[in-house]
Amino acid sequence: MQTKFLLDETQMPKRWYNLQADLPEPLPPVLHPGTRKPITPDDLEPLFPKALIQQEVTTEREVEIPEPVQDIYRLWRPAPLYRAHRLEKALGTPAKIFYKYEGGSPAGSHKPNTAIPQAFYNREEGIRRLTTETGAGQWGTSLSFAGSLFDIDVTVFQVSVSYNQKPYRRAVMETYGARCVASPSEMTQFGRQVLAQNPNHTGSLGIAISEAVELAVQDPSTKYALGSVLNHVLLHQTVIGLESMKQMEMADCWPDVIVGCTGGGSNFAGIAFPFIGHALRGGEQPRIVAVEPSACPTLTRGKYAYDYGDTGHMTPLTKMHTLGSDFTPPGFHAGGLRYHGMAPLVSHAKELGLFEARSYTQKQCFEAGILFARNEGIVPAPEANHAVKGAIDEALRCREEGKSEVILFNLCGHGHFDMAAYTSYFAGELSDHEYDDQELAMALSGLPPV
């Protein structure tokens, strides 16, 4: 009864996979926030190094992973693939459940897969300061870790509600030498503007992004790093799916269903895109399911439209599933899934019918995560619990239908810094939030006319 499927370090992918090469229709263009005309690579240079801008637009199928990045990846990669024998037994399902575990990285999630190359390319172009946002704290931790390896000063704007919920995330970022600030903050003009209107604002990823971008554009030696959403971030995360493909072959199985949780879309794309590309090139076609919170239902109830990536409207306009850039979701515990938008590439793939999406409320997800922990041992991050719930529901469907399908899901992070959320769940203090149509329509009424 094999439980772990482990790759040798020599089997780690040497190239990332780019879904743009295999898409039947290209991505809609990114628009300049002022002119509303397609942007040029030059427009992005105040924010990102040239190498990452190039990765943003490339349609090459494979992009070389630089040797120094591979060297660092080897600290935790290849990541293990597990067969969830005990969970299968607890569910009484004939399905075979596999999970790719990304929680073994130094930050505890998939986020360092892109933090390391982003810091590497910035350092190659002489950048010594990076700014960023973080929701759950996983991304801020990852970029802080990457900054410490490449000698880059990192300033992290952490969404205020999670800054207060998770003081130890900040302590880890500081351990890596970074500065972590609660957002909205007094450090930026936009932060001060938000606080003037509401001194108790709980923050949002959209606001934190505006603060980080504002600092970066003011100083040519500072650039901005984003932990999700952008094409290059999704590209870096494909190491997850590429490894999983080899591991599924080791297990002599191929997934019928793949499940991932979606905040900005990067861990989902990481596991799903290599399989989607394989199917687009004529390979087997698994069903792919994206799971999001009902409290931030971007893919299931958002509009596919051009919108800003941030609340301060400093970023370019991208076509994506959005709830409106002013949308402030409630302070529910999956802090990493509280973004108003979705990766343009994930949104485009959704429009092309390449995967399906569903949403769950947070209590259902904690219940699923606890069942998982009691059988498999790992306590998932609240974000990852959405994928666990999705996989469990698929396994229960298999039980009803008497099918022994192969289910693969991405366990994108552990929840060791999220135990306050678990405590609230056990104390019966969590509530579920669903939006009525009127609330959603209000949030969407501010979409830019494009």
Ligand X SMILES: Cc1ncc(COP(=O)(O)O)c(C=O)c1O
Please report, as ranges, the residues that interact with ligand X according to CB under 6 A.
109, 135-136, 138-139, 228, 261-268, 336-337, 381, 383-384, 412-413
Q: What is the closest distance, in whole angstroms, from the C-beta atom of residue 156 to ligand X in the complex?
A: 12
Question: Which residue, 115 or 261, has its beta carbon nearer to ligand X?
Answer: 261
Cα distance between residue 379 and residue 372, in whole Å: 8
Length of the chain: 450
Question: Which residue, 143 or 407, has its beta carbon nearer to ligand X?
Answer: 143
Q: What is the closest distance, in whole angstroms, from the C-beta atom of residue 228 to ligand X in the complex?
A: 3
- Residue 102: which of 336, 406, 420 has the closest Cα? 336
Task: State residue 190 phi and psi, 5-degree precision.
Answer: -65, -40
Residue of minimal Cβ distance to ligand X: 336
CA 82, 102, 7, 51 torsion-angle sign? positive
Q: What is the closest distance, in whole angstroms, from the C-beta atom of residue 116 to ligand X in the complex?
A: 16
Strand partners, 154: 130
User: Helix (H, G, I), strand (E, B), or coil: what is residue 335?
Assistant: helix
> Taking a C-beta distance cutoff of 8 angstroms, is the pair 73, 239 a contact?
yes
> Taking a C-beta distance cutoff of 8 angstroms, is the pair 292, 337 a contact?
yes
Count CB neighbours of 45 within 10 A. 14
- Residue 113: which of 98, 100, 124, 125 has the closest Cα? 100
Cα distance between residue 119 and residue 210, in whole Å: 20
Cα distance between residue 447 and residue 450, in whole Å: 9
Strands 81-83 and 4-5: antiparallel
Question: Which residue, 319 or 333, has its beta carbon nearer to ligand X?
Answer: 333
Question: Which residue, 123 or 360, has its beta carbon nearer to ligand X?
Answer: 360
> Taking a C-beta distance cutoff of 8 angstroms, is the pair 176, 144 a contact?
yes
Cα distance between residue 396 and residue 187, in whole Å: 49
Question: Which residue, 166 or 313, has its beta carbon nearer to ligand X?
Answer: 166
Q: What is the closest distance, in whole angstroms, from the C-beta atom of residue 424 to ligand X in the complex?
A: 18
Q: What is the closest distance, in whole angstroms, from the C-beta atom of residue 237 to ligand X in the complex?
A: 7
Question: Which residue, 188 or 262, has its beta carbon nearer to ligand X?
Answer: 262
Q: What is the closest distance, in whole angstroms, from the C-beta atom of residue 209 to ligand X in the complex?
A: 13
Q: What is the closest distance, in whole angstroms, from the C-beta atom of residue 260 to ligand X in the complex?
A: 8
Question: Which residue, 84 or 261, has its beta carbon nearer to ligand X?
Answer: 261
Q: How many helices (H) and strands (E) does the chain have?
A: 19, 15
Q: Say if residue 15 is exposed, middle or buried (CB neighbours under 10 Å; 0-12, 13-18, 19+).
A: middle
Question: Which residue, 111 or 123, has its beta carbon nearer to ligand X?
Answer: 111
Cα distance between residue 17 and residue 272, in whole Å: 11
Q: What is the closest distance, in whole angstroms, from the C-beta atom of residue 11 to ligand X in the complex?
A: 24
Question: Which residue, 278 or 414, has its beta carbon nearer to ligand X?
Answer: 414
Q: What is the closest distance, in whole angstroms, from the C-beta atom of residue 112 to ligand X in the complex?
A: 11
Question: Which residue, 7 or 381, has its beta carbon nearer to ligand X?
Answer: 381
Cα distance between residue 241 and residue 14, in whole Å: 13
Q: What is the closest distance, in whole angstroms, from the C-beta atom of residue 412 to ligand X in the complex?
A: 4
